[in-house]
Amino acid sequence: MTQHATGSVEAPQATVGLMRGLSGKLLLLTVVSVMLAEVLIFVPSVANMRVRWLQDRLNTAAAAGVVVDGLENVELPRPLQDETLMATDTKAIAIRRKNESRLIAAVDMPPEVDAQYDLTDVMPLEAIGDAFHTLISGGDEIIRVYAPLGESDAIIELVMSDRNLHKAMLVYARNVFFLSIGLSLFTATLIFVAINRIMITPIRRMTASMQAFSADPSDPARVLTPSPGQDELSLAGQHLAAMQQQLQKTLKSQKNLADLGLAVSKINHDMRNILSSAQLISDRLSDVDDPVVKRFAPTLLRTIDRAVGYTTEVLSYGRTTEQEPHRRFLALRPLVVDVAEILSIDSASGIDFRNHVPEDLQVDADSEQLFRVVHNICRNAVQALLNDADSGRARIVTVSAVRTGSVVCITVDDTGPGMPQKARENLFSAFRGSARSGGTGLGLVIARELVLAHGGTISLVDKPSPGTLFQIELPDRAVPLDVFRSRRRH
């Protein structure tokens, strides 16, 4: 009987929390990646912003400087100087030429300069380094900044505090930070929605289908309807649906077999009752004096006994596998005689049944099971010969056996038409091997199962002459060393 796995296997949970689920992880990953990208963008942009800020100051100062510079040898009055310095947020403004330097405006006591920056051609890495310096340790430094004055060869030079620059950079950094957060949340939401639609929803659908299917695998409505796309998830869905369909087919055929087993058991049950009645009646045959009855009665009784035995066995075990063989050493020849008798080969059929098994050959087997093996194979041979009426060949079934060491090799050879192709292709497969009308295709399967239970082999052997040759090899049971020794002692 097939059993569904739902009862014993603990099913994984159907849904997962947002943060433990794929979508939550993707959301987090996107936020982190966008933030990282923003940092990478922030570093050069803050350096750029600083250079631009300084350049603006230089330009403003240059505008004032150029005017004053035009007035030859005139020093700006103090209040005007202070105003210019305030407007440009500087401590001193000077214009330098090749051989002279002119101070345009300066505070009374120009402070000492902590660092100086040339804005002529600022290299990116240098700009980044300076920006970080200002951001981290700036704010209280006095800096000197200079750059060419327009297209001329003069240079404008400022001395100033970096406090306002530092402040402006902090504001810029804060703005970029908030912008990054906003941007990353926005991007992450977009990606989240897209991935949810493209991936998570189909995956959830597949998981739900698997759960529904495992709850009742026989229901065709629970097979996943896959989406027709060509992407990996659609392909996975299509494979899953194909697998579910295949599984359903297998389940169905197994259920058919189980139903068949049940039906056979029921028939078997009633047949045993009928046979038991027949057994009772035929017991009385032994009292009849008729010589013909006297001759056939023992065989008939034995046959019915066997039939009752089989049916009871099937009923008591209620399973398809055979009972363990109860092995003992037995003479094979009488067993073959019994088989010949039960096959009731009459002289009218023209079949010559030859028992070539040596008198003294002993085989280590379960007598009932070996009987069934030989019977099935010999019955097939006899049926093949009977169906091959017009061939004109002599109709002979020969059973031989030889012992080699601890293995007995039994052969059943007939002069019939040989195995049909269909039977050859499905040799030993249940219900499929029969190529004979009225045959069930179980005989050889049963024979094989019983031989295998004895640790032996059964095979169809090719032979040059027409007909069929089956060979059975049965090894004796292995004798443990201590049993062997104790046997020798007694």
Q: Which residues contact Mg ion by CB under 5 A?
A: 380, 443
For the stretch 316-319, contacts whose Cβ atoms lie closer than 8 Å and that sit 24 or more positions apart, written own/partner, are 318/265
Minimum CB distance to ligand ATP smaller for 159 or for 469: 469
Residue 384 interaction partner, one of Mg ion, ligand ATP, none, beta carbon < 5-8 Å per kind: ligand ATP
Q: Confirm if 170 and 140 have CB atoms less than 8 A apart.
A: no
Cβ at position 236, least distance to Mg ion in Å:
47
Residue pair 396/334 in contact (Cβ under 8 Å)? The answer is no
CB of 483 to ligand ATP, least distance (A): 37
Does 419 bind ligand ATP (CB under 6 A)? Our answer is: yes
Judged by CB under 6 A, the residue of 244, 443, 472, 474 near ligand ATP is: 443
Nearest approach, Cβ of residue 364 and Mg ion (Å): 25
Number of neighbouring beta carbons within 10 Å of residue 166? 19
Determine what percent of the chain falls in helix, strand and coil, rounding each to the nearest 5: 55, 15, 30
Cβ at position 395, least distance to Mg ion in Å? 17
Asked if residue 226 binds ligand ATP (CB under 6 A), the reply is no
Whole-number Å distance between alpha carbons of 266 and 257: 14
CB 454 within 8 A of CB 368: no
- 415 is an interface residue for ligand ATP by CB under 6 A: no
Nearest CA-CA partner of 418 in 380, 445, 390, 451: 380
Q: What is the DSSP letter of 431?
A: T
Does residue 325 touch ligand ATP according to CB under 6 A? no
Count of CB atoms situated within 10 Å of the CB of 184: 19
Residue 325: name its binding partner from Mg ion, ligand ATP, none (Cβ under 5 to 8 Å by kind). Answer: none
Contacting ligand ATP (CB under 6 A), which of 204, 442, 453, 459?
442
User: Applying CB under 6 A, which part among 41-49, 81-89, 290-298, 439-447 lies near ligand ATP?
Assistant: 439-447
Chain residues 80-99 in contact with ligand ATP, contact rule CB under 6 A: none
Instruction: Please tell me whether residue 469 adopts helix, strand or coil conformation.
Output: strand
**Which option in Mg ion, ligand ATP, none does residue 226 bind, with CB closer than 5 to 8 A by kind?**
none
User: 54 or 412: whose CB is closer to ligand ATP?
Assistant: 412
Name which of residues 378 to 407 contact ligand ATP (CB under 6 A): 380-381, 384
Contact segment (CB under 6 A) with ligand ATP among 24-32, 41-49, 133-141, 427-435 equals 427-435
Q: Is 10 helix (H, G, I), strand (E, B) or coil?
A: coil
- Pinpoint the alpha helices (H) of 94-149: 124-137
The listed partner (ligand ATP, Mg ion, none) that binds 435, CB under 5 to 8 Å by sort, is ligand ATP
Strands 142-148 and 115-118: parallel
In the complex, least distance from residue 255 CB atom to ligand ATP, rounded to whole angstroms:
22
Quick one: 202 or 443, whose CB is closer to ligand ATP? 443
Alpha-carbon distance of 192 to 463, in angstroms, equals 73
Q: How far is the CB of 490 from Mg ion (least distance, A)?
A: 44
Residue 451 binds to ligand ATP (criterion: CB under 6 A): no
Q: Which is nearer to ligand ATP, 254 or 429 (CB)?
A: 429
Minimum CB separation of residue 396 from Mg ion in Å reads 19
Tokens 């006095």 — which residue?
A: 142
b/e per residue 360-399 (b: at least 16 CB within 10 A) = ebebbbbbbbbbbbbbbbbebbbbbbeebeeeeeebbbbb
Look at residue 108 and give its three-state secondary structure.
coil
435 counts as binding ligand ATP under rule CB under 6 A: yes
Q: If binding is defined by CB under 6 A, does position 210 make contact with ligand ATP?
A: no
Smallest distance, ligand ATP to C-beta of residue 349, A? 15
**Toward ligand ATP, which CB reaches closer, 47 or 445?**
445
The H-or-E segment that residue 205 falls in is helix 201-215
User: Rounded to the nearest 5°, which phi and psi values hold at 94?
Assistant: -140, 155
Q: Smallest gap, in angstroms, from Cβ of residue 450 to Mg ion?
A: 14
The item of Mg ion, ligand ATP, none sharing an interface with residue 416, based on CB under 5 to 8 Å by kind, is ligand ATP
**Contact partner, 111, from ligand ATP, Mg ion, none, Cβ < 5-8 Å per class:** none
What is the rounded distance in angstroms from the CA atom of residue 348 to the CA atom of residue 4? 56
User: Quick one: how far is CA 4 from the chain centroid?
Assistant: 19
Nearer to ligand ATP, 298 or 420 (CB): 420
What 8-state DSSP symbol labels residue 75?
A: P
Nearer to ligand ATP, 142 or 343 (CB): 343
Site size for ligand ATP, by CB under 6 A? 22
| 402 Cβ contact partners less than 8 Å away, ≥ 6 residues apart | 358, 361, 408, 409
Find the part of the chain contacting ligand ATP (CB under 6 A) among 195-203, 295-303, 317-325, 374-382: 374-382
Q: Could you give the CA distance from residue 241 to residue 222 in angstroms, rounded to a whole number?
A: 10
Report the interface residues with ligand ATP, using CB under 6 A. 376, 380-381, 384, 414, 416, 418-420, 423, 433-436, 439-445, 468
